[in-house]
Amino acid sequence: MKFGVVVFPGSNCDRDVAYVTRDLLGQPTRMVWHQDTDIDDLDAIVIPGGFSYGDYLRCGAIARFSPVMQQVITHAEKGKLVLGICNGFQVLTEAGLLPGILTRNRDLHFICDRVPLTVESQNSPWMQAYNTGEVITLPIAHGEGRFYANQATLSEIEDNGQVVLRYAGENPNGSLNNIAGIRNRQGNVVGMMPHPERASDPMLGGDDGLRLFQGLLEKVAALT
Amino acid sequence: MQTKYLAKIFVTLRPSVLDPAGVAVQSGLQQMGYDNVENVRIGKYIELTITSNDETKARQDMNRICDQMLANPVIENYRFDLIEVETQTGVF
């Protein structure tokens, strides 16, 4: 499975993602500079965490107009895989690939913690190595992670089973319905505030995040 | 005839959206002694200069600029004023 990790000016979790896909999982991985417009060779695009464009104006608001993003939108429309982590999740909501928006944490603090999360749905290639109802632990590190959508959109997200991860313990940021990660209706695009790439090498204290990437490979292996 | 307009844009939170920063400012104002202040909401003020040969087109451009980038319609409203700054006559 060929992975591409998008790099915007200000992205800083890109190499951690590549470490997982290329070094831990041995998958062909390349970094995709935000001005690259050829991503046809890639199966899965990851938009990593960080502070793209300094979080100026709104997190992800400017990154969304980078040349590569038009290709990512086309890639998603073709049903190919996209994952947005933290700032990547923010970029995906600004780009309209996922509903809602991520706003300032309710308590105004930047939260750096390991949190328990409930896997809500396996209805996505990204989630298939998890079990619905399972509780996993992933690190979070964000100041703008409060998920918000208006009542109508929120109901739609819930009714369609689009929530993939929910904060299981205390809600760290005030996200509506404790939402930590969602998928698009088709399931090929997922966004989440927690960092699975920081919980993939057990040497760092946990590896619950590895299965997010590993699950994709098992699907491909099962098909061949 | 190209005209330069100064655009003054106000981006404000939709009334239904929680504003924790506004709440924090309100408690600061209370500490200052103002217990008669409520409903603090923090928005953004942005200025830019836009050049166009047609004011209607300038307004259309501004609506798109505001709707697509300067404001996020999920949580924000916007309004703007356009003030003519400079007009250049001549043949282009």
Query: Per-residue confidence at A218, pLDDT binned at 50, 70, 90?
Result: confident
Distance from CA of B2 to the nearest CA of A (A): 27
**Structure token digits, residue A133:** 């109802």
CB B74 within 8 A of CB A150: yes
pLDDT at B35: 93
pLDDT at A89: 98
User: A8-31 burial by CB neighbour count: b if 16+ within 10 A, else e?
Assistant: bebbebbebbbebbbebbebebeb
User: In this structure, is the dihedral angle defined by the CA atoms of residues A23, A119, A144 and B44, taken in order, positive or negative?
Assistant: positive
| pLDDT at A20 > cutoff 80 | yes
| pLDDT at B90 > cutoff 80 | no
Q: Is the pTM of this model over 0.90?
A: yes
The verdict on a CB contact (< 8 Å) between A62 and B69 is yes
Q: Which residues of B touch A174 (CB under 8 A)?
A: 18, 20
Q: Mean pLDDT for chain A?
A: 96
Boundaries of every domain in chain A? 3-223
CB A32 within 8 A of CB A218: no
| pLDDT at B33 > cutoff 90 | yes
Instruction: Report percent pLDDT > 90 for chain A.
Output: 97
pLDDT at B86: 72
Q: Which residues of A touch B17 (CB under 8 A)?
A: 103, 148
Best mutation target among B67, B74, B76 (most A Cβ atoms within 10 Å) is B74
Boundaries of every domain in chain B? 2-88
What is the spatial distance between Cα A103 and Cα A197, in angstroms, rounded to a whole number?
A: 22
Query: Per-residue confidence at B1, pLDDT binned at 50, 70, 90?
Result: confident
The verdict on a CB contact (< 8 Å) between A103 and B24 is no
Fold for A3-223, please state it.
Rossmann fold (3.40.50)
Q: Which residue out of A59, A86, A94, A142 is catalytically annotated?
A: A86
- State the first-to-last Cα distance of chain A, in angstroms, to the nearest integer: 12
A195 assigned to active site? yes
The verdict on a CB contact (< 8 Å) between B69 and A100 is no
Q: Name the residue among A114, A109, A81 with its Cα closest to residue A2.
A: A81
Work out the number of other CB atoms within 10 angstroms of the CB of residue A169: 13
| pLDDT at A223 > cutoff 80 | no
Q: Which residues of B touch A98 (CB under 8 A)?
A: none
Which chain A residue has the Cα nearest residue B43?
A: A57
Q: What is the 3-state secondary structure (H, E, C) of B15-75?
A: CCCCCHHHHHHHHHHHHHCCCCCCCCCCCEEEEEEEEECCHHHHHHHHHHHHHHHHCCCCC
Mean of pLDDT values over A119-136: 96
Q: Domain B2-88 sits in which CATH superfamily? A: Phosphoribosylformylglycinamidine synthase subunit PurS (3.30.1280.10)
Q: Name the residue among A193, A190, A218 with its Cα closest to residue A81.
A: A190
Query: Per-residue confidence at A68, pLDDT binned at 50, 70, 90?
Result: very high
Mean of pLDDT values over A1-21: 98
